[in-house]
Structure 1
Amino acid sequence: MKHMNTVRGLSAACLLTVPILLSGCGLFGSESASVDPPPGEIEAQMLEVSDSTTLDTGVFGPVAGEGTAADSTTDKAEAAAPGERTTVFLKDANGLLAPVSLALPDGDSTAMLKDSLTALVSKGPYASALPEGFQGVLPAGTEVKNVSVDKDKLAVVEFNSAFNDYKAADERKVLEAITWTLTGQEGIQGVQLWVDGKKLTEMPLLGTPLDHPLSRAFGINLPKNGPMQMNLSAVTVYFSAATPDGAHQYYVPVTRFVPAGEDKVKAALGELIAGPESTNGLETAMTGGTVLNSVEAGQNGVVTVSLTDDMFTDGKNVPEEMLESVVLTVAQNAEDAPVQIRLNGLETVTGTNNVDYGKPVSAPEYVNALPL
């Protein structure tokens, strides 16, 4: 079994590292779901939820307070300073959207938002700054004419007419990339699109309705064989994948559907343990013997996840990708809550990155800071 080093929370001096992998194979196998638009009734439901719920900004916060692991904390305001790093959602070699943290030029908040969307343009100004195997999904020639954020945390984006030149098969992916890129910035919860001075009420090719602002409730990387019933809820699960050369590991968010009314965090972790559904580059983070015992939210806001896995009886040298997938999945589904992990009843759970996940660890501010 390989020990794979991936993203993790570090100190304010160095928030995130992505060390080298020995090969592109997963710890316990490599699988994933083909992605495609969900059935029409599910699409409508997700769009409606997008407009009517209190939304997660998707900004992963640091751990704060006593009992925090020192090497997993940082000051959020410092970490989010414009020009340091910006996380954008790019298409990987398997056709999935993944967050990639880029070092974009310094500038004010508006310039930073415009640059983050410009990075999504195929063959655009930042194409040479993208890691190998990743590309933007906006059509070549697309220009970001303006981005403004109102008091209701709605980002209004205006593109030029080249935006309409996307391929029909990429329509949903275009919307997902824009939405998840912008709502990853603090203070943005919804997105509205304009083209050449006109508000879009639907997408030009397949007619995806845009009468409600888009949010992360829209989902990302949905399974091709989506649900056919309405009494389901969406959760986001983070699986891992390897770069084309197998040298680096990165994380990919996937929307899964679970029965409505289930505890969101427990349901998401259940999907994480179940693993990817088919073959498309995603890797199984857990072993076949991983069992979720409990999920508890403490008064200090820390979520405690208790797991059993006979492969790691002493709680030492647990693969980092396994532990970070838990942290990322919990944070996404529990309002960016910090996480501490209990494994086989042990309160000290050390990853292959030498981080003790038995203490509160928060998801990194910048995910997938991959080298060029």
Structure 2
Amino acid sequence: MKHQHWIRSAAIAGVIALLTTGCSVLGSGKKEDIDAPPKTGSEADAQTTSAAITIDMAADNSSQMTVYVRDSKGFVAPVSLGLPKSQSVAKTTLEYMVDDGPVTSLLPAGFEAILPKDTKVLGINITSDKRAVVDFSKEFLNYDPSNERKILEAVTWTLTSFPAVEKVQLRVDGKELKEMPKGKTPLDTPLARTMGINLEKAADAEFGQSTPVTLYFLNQNDQNYKYYVPVTRLVKRTDDVAQAVVDQLIKGPDAKKGLTSALNATTEVKSVKLTDSLVTVDFSSKLLGTDQKASGDALQSVILSLTENAGIKQVQIKVDGAVKITSTDNQNYSKPVSRPAHVNPVKL
């Protein structure tokens, strides 16, 4: 199967699930909530109606929000920023993803907004089936063809960070977009995180006979801003997604792409057990450093990756069967940990 055909299929029928519930592990801030969708008589209301979103606002007239932008290596990555308060947080978040817009001064070195310059967000409507219908201005179509999929990933993953959004439908000047005009990516069904992000294929996997898992690896810019990059990797078909996630984290990123793994290649896993929405991972003592502490980066990478897959809401980490773990980030891992509300917060 040709690579382009696989991307088309993955965009339509991938199988990764999003779970964004829980407390913050990587940064401060509480999870956003979107009010019940407004009742409208027609989907045409999406041209002008923005969903009402309520969030916890900071005292400095800003709110912590996550945008997906492009880093210096070309990866689409989340960055959590303090954005201005507004009545439509989802609309404001997308507006802060426009190239050469107000987000430019807020992004860490090496990051770029990915929506085409001068793009306007004309409106967002959140429907009862958790679909965000986004109406962009015509400038949205003025993109470099090489960025087509990155733009779709960025918009989809940004909006599905809100608990009330599971899929995204695009419009331009009020008209439904059936496909992207340059690379012909199909948009005949709403986009979701099932499309993956920063896609790659394991060497031993075959298209059409594989399982996608999303893994969080590390990167760092030249100003020592360390951040996680989500990578959706196709692996040999398996029903044990949680085990596959941990195994692939230990295997690490593609060496040619410049990312690093937070888990050492010598890390040993004694067991991975999934019960309802809780997964328990028991590592051997090789997880610990010479100071007998577990790397906070490694633990957070495991939590982010597992809660991105397989219907997992919480992660319990053990070392040789013990839940009492001392970590380098001084977080409490003795109880099950939920997914953080914000990923890669920028400290100004």
TM-score of the two chains, using structure 1 as the length reference: 0.79
Tell me how far apart the structure 1 counterparts of residues 339 and 278 of structure 2 sit (CA, whole Å). 12
User: 2:70 is matched with which residue?
Assistant: 91
2:23 to 39, 62, 78: 62
User: 2:172 is matched with which residue?
Assistant: 195
Q: Can you list the C-alpha shifts for 1:225-271, whole angstroms capped at 9, x where unaligned?
A: 8864202121111111112222x321111001123342111111111
1:236 aligned to 2:200? no
Matches within 5 A, 1:145-294: 145-223=122-200, 228-246=206-224, 248-294=225-271
Q: What is the aligned-residue RMSD (CA, Å)?
A: 2.7
Tell me how far apart the structure 1 counterparts of residues 140 and 318 of structure 2 sit (CA, whole Å). 48
Amino acid at match of 1:62: C
Q: Can you list the C-alpha shifts for 1:23-55, whole angstroms capped at 9, x where unaligned?
A: xxxxxxxxxxxxxxx8133223223325xx7x7
What's the CA shift for 1:222?
1.0
Tell me how far apart the structure 2 counterparts of residues 200 and 268 of structure 1 sit (CA, whole Å). 34
| Alpha-carbon distance change, 222 to 370 in structure 1, aligned in 2, over 3 angstroms | same
Tell me how far apart the structure 2 counterparts of residues 353 and 230 of structure 1 sit (CA, whole Å). 40
User: 2:41 is matched with which residue?
Assistant: none
Amino acid at match of 2:322: L
Amino acid at match of 2:83: L
Amino acid at match of 2:284: T
2:274 to 297, 306, 315: 297
TM-score of the two chains, using structure 2 as the length reference: 0.84
The answer to whether the 8 Å contact 2:21/2:31 transfers is: no
User: 2:97 is matched with which residue?
Assistant: 120
Higher normalized strand content (fraction of residues): 2
Count residues with an aligned counterpart. 322
What's the CA shift for 1:131?
2.2
Amino acid at match of 2:313: A
Tell me how far apart the structure 2 counterparts of residues 149 and 305 of structure 1 sit (CA, whole Å). 36
- For structure 1, list consecutive stretches of 5 or more residues without a partner in the other structure: 1-37, 64-68
What's the CA shift for 1:367?
0.8
| Alpha-carbon distance change, 271 to 314 in structure 1, aligned in 2, over 3 angstroms | same
What's the CA shift for 1:58?
4.2
User: 1:144 is matched with which residue?
Assistant: 121
What's the CA shift for 1:336?
4.9
Secondary structure of residue in 1 paired with 2:7: helix
- For structure 2, list consecutive stretches of 5 or more residues without a partner in the other structure: 34-53
What's the CA shift for 1:137?
0.8
- Structure number with higher relative contact order (C-alpha < 8 Å, ≥ 6 residues apart): 1
Tell me how far apart the structure 2 counterparts of residues 190 and 321 of structure 1 sit (CA, whole Å). 30
What's the CA shift for 1:317?
2.0
The answer to whether the 8 Å contact 1:46/1:218 transfers is: yes
The answer to whether the 8 Å contact 1:315/1:349 transfers is: no
Tell me how far apart the structure 2 counterparts of residues 261 and 310 of structure 1 sit (CA, whole Å). 26
Worse overlay, 282-291 or 205-214: 282-291
The answer to whether the 8 Å contact 1:293/1:306 transfers is: yes
Tell me how far apart the structure 2 counterparts of residues 203 and 364 of structure 1 sit (CA, whole Å). 32
| Alpha-carbon distance change, 274 to 57 in structure 1, aligned in 2, over 3 angstroms | closer
Q: Can you list the C-alpha shifts for 1:171-191, whole angstroms capped at 9, x where unaligned?
A: 100100000000011100011
Tell me how far apart the structure 1 counterparts of residues 244 and 318 of structure 2 sit (CA, whole Å). 18
Tell me how far apart the structure 2 counterparts of residues 350 and 48 of structure 1 sit (CA, whole Å). 43
User: 2:345 is matched with which residue?
Assistant: 369
1:103 to 76, 82, 86: 82
